[in-house]
Structure 1
């Protein structure tokens, strides 16, 4: 299915952008630490302490972004399932969801899609549901018209 492939590619670009962004941030922090080491005296280490905290946070974020990429490898856009699984396109009476990552609302070819994770609260509500099922989220009722 073409639209699922396009949505998956959008997810992959999103994950790649996050990985690259965190790698760049880590490189900048490392450079700052090196520069601080060259010019600082031993009495004032608070600058490096903050930078090391930032480095640790960004390393964690980078690791999460790598996990995101790995998760996307499990998405099979050609997989057809009667129930909602990873990679499903779920058309409801008002919104269309793509089950992959937690990205949120995107527009593709003039249509709106909500890209959500199967692990998210909404993803858990949708998991294993099928065409004709109803569910409620944030005080709104939805009817699943199609699972692709």
Structure 2
């Protein structure tokens, strides 16, 4: 398995975990709402209101995670490019990036990669740039040394 394939697999696993966690949370909230409704004959819905709010938030997070999962399915690990594109590993003099989605730090095979979104501030600085491009971000000067 190539490094790109491993990174994509890790991203997918982390998003799957998010989806699973949000589904579990949604189910717990639904159960709480049902038990609150059954035991609440006084007409006091302050508890239900907060639960409904939590349910809405978690449903939105779940939908976002599902969209990220769909987005990751667009990444092709066998495409090579001289410019940084979706699915590229971009090595710089400071750190290594994997242009995919905002997952954060990934330790892999004695190397560290940061999975970032194309839409993130650093992703915007990297996308469509070739090797030897330099840029500044957070007071650091970066030089793209390799694109895989």
Normalised to the residue count of structure 2, the TM-score between the two structures is: 0.97
**1:52 and 2:39 are equivalent in the alignment:** no
Separation in 1 of the partners of 2:47 and 2:73? 39
- 1:93-104 aligned at under 5 Å gives the runs 93-104=93-104
Unaligned runs of 5+ in 1: none
**Corresponding residue for 1:10?**
10
Separation in 2 of the partners of 1:93 and 1:53? 45
Deviation at 1:132, TM superposition (A): 1.0
**Corresponding residue for 2:111?**
111
Separation in 1 of the partners of 2:100 and 2:115? 6
Separation in 2 of the partners of 1:9 and 1:36? 40
In structure 2, the residue corresponding to 1:51 is in which secondary structure? Answer: helix
Aligned-residue CA RMSD (Å): 0.9
**Corresponding residue for 2:85?**
85
**Corresponding residue for 1:31?**
31
Unaligned runs of 5+ in 2: none
Cα deviation 1:33-83 (Å, max 9, x = unaligned): 000111112421111000000000000000000011011011111110111
- 1:118-129 aligned at under 5 Å gives the runs 118-129=118-129
Normalised to the residue count of structure 1, the TM-score between the two structures is: 0.97
